[in-house]
C-alpha cells in the first residue's frame, strides 16, 4: 500500500526520524493561512502517490506571501502521471547544505534487507544506477536484525553519505530508526530522497516515501486508515470493481491474460524476448465477454501501448467467449494497434472460427506471440 508523504513523515516522527513538520491543505485559502502561521518561505508539495513530483511542477518553494495562493491553486489543479492533486503539504522551506539518497528495502535474491545510498541526492536513483552504478552504495543487514540495528555496523556506509563525523553518526542513528520502523510496521520500502543537511548541519529527511506490505496490513489496523482510495490509480480501482486485476506498468505491450500466474509468465516471456509489458491484466477465470471489452478499454487508455498481446489458456475460460469479447471490442471502439493472440484450450476451434477474417495476428505458441509483440512494440 502506498501512503502520502505527509503520512510517511508522521511515521518518521513516531520513530524520531527528523523531518520538517508540515500541514496539509486542500484549498489555496488553507495554504495561505498555514503559510502565514509558519512564516515564509514555505514549500508547497503535491500529495500524490507518484515520484518525480518536483519535475512535474508539484513542488514549489514560495518566498512571497502574495504567491502562496496562486501557487497552491496551480498545484491543486495539476494531474501528475494520471493522478489529480487533491492535497498540498505546506512545510517551512529549509536551506539545503547537501542532498543524498537513502532507502531501505528487501533484496529477495540475497534474502537480506539492504540500505541503498548515493552521495548525490535529489536525483532519480534509477538513472544513476544505470549510468554510474559505482555511485550506488549498499549495506546489507539480516532482516531479523532490522528492529535492533547497531549504529556501529552502519558507520562506514553513513560516512560515505556524510563524511563529517557528527553527521555520519546522526545518519547511522537515523538508519537504525528506519530499520525499526521498517520491521515494526511491515514496510516493503522506506525511501528518503533527498536526505539533507541544513545550514546548521542537521541531518533531515526532506522527503519521505513508505510502502507498506499489503499482506501484513491485518496486523496494523492503524495503518489501514491511511489508505487513500482517491489517490490510487483510478483505472486500477475501476478494474477491481468489474472483477479484473489490472496494474499499470511502463512498457509498450498491452497484455490481456486469464489467470494471474499465466499473466506473470506472459510478462516474463515478453521481457525474455526483449519487449516491455504496459500492464498486468488478469481477466479472471470466468469468461464473461463483457469483461474482455472492459479489459480492452483499460489497455487502450494507455497511449504508450503499441501492440496488444492476448494470451488465453482456456480451462474454465472458454476460448469462444473470449473471441466474442474481442469481436465486441473491435466493434465498439476503433482499435488502432495490432493485436497478437494466442488462444488455446477449451473451445479453441470455435474461438478461432469466430475470429476468422479479423485483422488479429494469430500465434501458435506464447513464445511466438511474445516475439511478435516485442517486434511490433519495440525492444527495450
Hey, which residues are catalytic here? 101, 191
Q: Is 63 exposed, middle or buried (0-12, 13-18, 19+ CB in 10 A)?
A: exposed
61 binds, among ligand GDP, Mn ion, none (CB under 5 to 8 A by kind): ligand GDP
Contact status: 191 vs ligand GDP (CB under 6 A): no
Q: Could you tell me if 305 and 341 are in contact, meaning their C-beta atoms sit under 8 angstroms apart? A: no
Which member of 18, 30, 81, 122 binds ligand GDP (CB under 6 A)?
A: 122
User: Shortest approach of ligand GDP to residue 65 CB, angstroms?
Assistant: 17
Among positions 89-108, residues that touch ligand GDP (CB under 6 A) are 93-94, 96, 99
Long-range CB contacts (within 8 A, 24+) of 122-126: 122/54, 122/193, 122/194, 123/193, 124/51, 124/52, 125/101, 125/193
- Shorter beta-carbon distance to ligand GDP: residue 98 or 372: 98
SS3 66: helix
Give the helix/strand (H/E) hosting 330: helix 319-332
Contact status: 207 vs ligand GDP (CB under 6 A): yes
Which member of 31, 43, 125, 253 binds ligand GDP (CB under 6 A)?
A: 43
Contact status: 285 vs ligand GDP (CB under 6 A): no
Among positions 123-182, residues that touch ligand GDP (CB under 6 A) are none
DSSP string, 89-100: EEEE---EEEEE
Q: Smallest Cα–Cα separation from 370: which of 283, 291, 304, 272? A: 272
Q: Could you tell me if 281 and 292 are in contact, meaning their C-beta atoms sit under 8 angstroms apart? A: no
Contact status: 328 vs ligand GDP (CB under 6 A): no
Instruction: Take residue 241 and report the three cell numbers written for it.
Output: 470493481
Contact status: 61 vs ligand GDP (CB under 6 A): yes
168 binds, among ligand GDP, Mn ion, none (CB under 5 to 8 A by kind): none
User: Shortest approach of ligand GDP to residue 56 CB, angstroms?
Assistant: 8
Contact status: 99 vs Mn ion (CB under 5 A): no
Q: Is 34 exposed, middle or buried (0-12, 13-18, 19+ CB in 10 A)?
A: buried
End-to-end CA gap in the chain: 28
User: Shortest approach of ligand GDP to residue 68 CB, angstroms?
Assistant: 15
- Shorter beta-carbon distance to ligand GDP: residue 161 or 295: 161
Q: Could you tell me if 368 and 340 are in contact, meaning their C-beta atoms sit under 8 angstroms apart? A: no
206 binds, among ligand GDP, Mn ion, none (CB under 5 to 8 A by kind): ligand GDP
Q: Which stretch binds Mn ion (CB under 5 A): 98-106, 203-211, 230-238, 371-379?
A: 203-211
User: Shortest approach of Mn ion to residue 122 CB, angstroms?
Assistant: 7
The Cα-based distances of 167 to 137, 206, 301 in angstroms read: 17, 15, 48
Instruction: Take residue 152 and report the three cell numbers written for it.
Output: 556501529
Alpha-carbon 334 to chain mean position: 30
User: Shortest approach of ligand GDP to residue 69 CB, angstroms?
Assistant: 19
Q: Which stretch binds Mn ion (CB under 5 A): 106-114, 169-177, 206-214, 263-271?
A: 206-214
Q: Which stretch binds ligand GDP (CB under 6 A): 50-58, 65-73, 137-145, 252-260?
A: 50-58
Which member of 99, 207, 235, 321 binds Mn ion (CB under 5 A)?
A: 207
Cis previous bond, 265, omega within 30: no
Q: Which residue is nearest to ligand GDP (CB)?
A: 54
Q: Could you tell me if 269 and 372 are in contact, meaning their C-beta atoms sit under 8 angstroms apart? A: no
- Shorter beta-carbon distance to ligand GDP: residue 52 or 163: 52
Q: Smallest Cα–Cα separation from 121: which of 160, 76, 84, 74? A: 160
Q: Which residues of the chain form contacts with Mn ion (CB under 5 A)?
A: 193, 207
Residues making contact with ligand GDP (CB under 6 A) = 43, 45, 51-54, 59, 61, 93-94, 96, 99, 122, 193-194, 206-207
Amino acid at each position: 500500500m502506498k501512503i502520502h508523504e505527509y503520512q510517511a513523515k508522521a511515521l518518521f516522527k513516531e520513530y524520531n526520524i527528523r523531518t520538517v513538520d508540515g500541514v496539509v491543505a486542500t484549498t489555496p485559502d488553507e495554504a495561505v493561512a498555514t503559510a502565514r502561521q509558519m512564516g515564509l518561505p514555505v514549500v508547497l508539495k503535491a500529495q500524490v502517490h507518484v515520484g518525480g513530483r518536483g519535475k512535474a511542477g508539484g513542488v514549489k518553494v514560495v518566498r512571497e506571501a502574495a504567491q502562496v495562493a496562486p501557487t497552491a491553486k496551480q498545484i491543486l489543479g495539476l494531474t501528475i502521471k494520471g493522478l489529480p492533486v487533491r492535497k498540498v503539504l505546506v512545510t517551512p522551506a529549509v536551506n539545503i547544505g547537501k542532498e543524498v539518497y537513502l532507502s531501505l528495502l528487501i533484496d529477495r535474491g540475497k534474502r537480506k534487507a539492504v540500505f541503498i545510498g548515493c552521495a548525490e541526492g535529489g536525483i532519480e536513483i534509477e538513472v544513476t544506477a544505470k549510468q554510474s552504478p559505482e555511485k550506488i552504495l549498499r549495506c546489507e543487514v539480516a532482516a531479523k536484525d532490522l528492529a535492533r540495528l547497531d549504529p556501529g555496523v552502519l558507520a562506514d556506509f553513513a560516512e560515505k553519505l556524510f563524511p563529517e563525523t557528527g553527521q555520519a553518526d546522526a545518519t547511522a542513528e537515523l538508519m537504525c530508526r528506519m530499520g525499526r520502523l521498517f520491521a515494526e510496521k511491515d514496510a516493503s520500502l522506506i525511501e528518503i530522497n533527498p536526505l539533507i543537511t541544513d545550514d546548521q548541519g542537521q541531518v533531515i529527511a526532506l522527503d519521505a516515501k513508505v510502502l507498506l506490505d499489503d499482506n501484513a496490513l491485518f496486523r496494523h489496523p492503524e495503518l489501514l486508515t491511511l489508505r487513500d482510495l482517491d489517490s490510487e490509480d483510478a483505472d486500477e480501482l475501476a478494474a477491481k470493481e468489474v472483477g479484473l486485476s489490472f496494474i499499470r506498468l511502463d512498457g509498450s505491450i498491452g497484455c490481456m491474460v486469464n489467470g494471474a500466474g499465466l499473466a506473470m509468465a506472459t510478462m516474463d516471456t515478453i521481457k525474455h524476448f526483449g519487449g516491455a509489458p504496459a500492464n498486468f491484466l488478469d481477466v479472471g477465470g470466468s469468461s464473461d465477454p463483457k469483461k474482455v471489452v472492459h479489459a480492452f478499454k483499460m489497455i487502450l487508455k494507455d497511449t504508450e501501448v503499441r501492440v496488444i498481446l492476448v494470451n488465453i489458456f482456456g480451462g474454465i475460460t472458454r476460448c469462444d467467449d473470449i473471441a466474442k469479447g474481442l469481436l465486441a471490442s473491435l466493434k465498439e471502439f476503433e482499435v488502432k494497434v495490432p493485436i497478437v493472440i494466442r488462444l488455446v484450450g477449451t473451445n479453441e476451434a470455435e474461438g478461432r472460427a469466430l475470429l476468422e477474417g479479423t485483422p488479429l495476428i494469430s500465434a501458435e505458441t506464447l513464445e511466438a506471440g511474445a516475439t511478435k509483440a516485442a517486434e511490433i512494440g519495440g525492444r527495450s
